Chains A and B, each alone.
Chain A
Amino acid sequence: MAYANDVGGMHGFGDLPEEGHGFESVWEAQVFALNQACVAAGVYTLDEFRHTMERIPPAEYYAMPYYERWLYAVERLLP
């Protein structure tokens, strides 16, 4: 019915995380910029990117840091 990303209304995710803004590591900013450039260049669409992330098996999805999900998707769409 839904993929792991479709969390609106769910219970159990706990408290909001600590403050933190933008990118915490160089690789995060790089994977962000790389994805933006790939979409802008028409290598793939934002929807293909989103759907690739959505299909990460739920247990892995929730365990994965946010930008690692992006990396996972770009690794599958770019080559």
Chain B
Amino acid sequence: MSGSGHHRNGELQARVNVLLALAEERGIVDREEIDRRIELLGSSVSPLNGALMVVRAWNDDAYRERLLDDAGAAAAELGVSGGGYSSDIRLHAVANTPEVHNVVVCTLCSCYPLAWLGPPPAWYKSEAYRSRVVRDPRGVLAEFGTTLPDATEVRVWDASAEARYMVVPMAPAGAADLSEDQQLDLVTRDCLIGVAVP
């Protein structure tokens, strides 16, 4: 298992500083652009974007259809635009139903819809999660307190090419009586990954 490396922060920061200086010297990227990219990840890009999309889908069948058909375009409709690496990377939304539960992983690295939802949690990047969720999804879900009926089909999505996945959870009973803000609170990051349900 990879540790946190906190005790080596000084050494690692020094190594990064060398690269930042080199990148600036070569005209690839300056410090302001680095700071701008970090700022973007800390503010406008967050799981709230996914929650906004899910809640809109709960309340608007036509939007739900567009979300499941082309999630990138549906995100852009709400002012959420992915970006950062390459236009080849596309968002795809998969919907939970009474018969099917979805959960997302990347076993080969840690592909995640980061451009839309912000950086993934530490456990998502861990070998423990990536190795186990494809083999024993119900066991992993149970560790998050999510127990599914045996008859429910569990679909694990291993993002190994250009698609990045987010889960559209089902609205819980009574959600229609809640305000939109209350609905948004139900859709956590873990729901969007599929290890939890609202």
- Once A31-B16, A68-B12 are accepted as A-B contacts, the answer to whether A11 and B38 lie under 8 Å apart by CB is no
Residues of A within 8 A of B (CB-CB), count: 51
| Number of residues from B at the complex interface, CB < 8 A | 49
B84 contacts A by Cβ under 8 Å? yes
Total residue contacts A-B, CB cutoff 8 A: 151
A25-41: which have CB < 8 Å to B? 25-27, 29-34, 36-41
> Is the CB–CB distance between A16 and B2 below 8 Å?
no
Is the CB of B9 closer than 8 A to any CB of chain A? yes
Interfacial residues of chain A within 1-33, with CB under 8 A of chain B in the complex: 5-11, 13-27, 29-33
Could you tell me if A62 and B16 are in contact, using CB atoms closer than 8 angstroms? no
Q: How far is the CA of A79 from the CA of B132 in the complex (A)?
A: 37
Could you tell me which A residues sit within 8 Å of B by CB distance?
Answer: 5-11, 13-27, 29-34, 36-41, 43, 46, 50, 53, 62-69, 71, 74-75, 78-79
In the complex, given contacts A13-B128, A25-B12, A27-B9, what are 11 additional A-B residue pairs having Cβ atoms less than 8 angstroms apart?
A6-B108, A13-B1, A13-B126, A14-B1, A22-B118, A27-B16, A29-B42, A30-B16, A63-B2, A75-B19, A78-B19
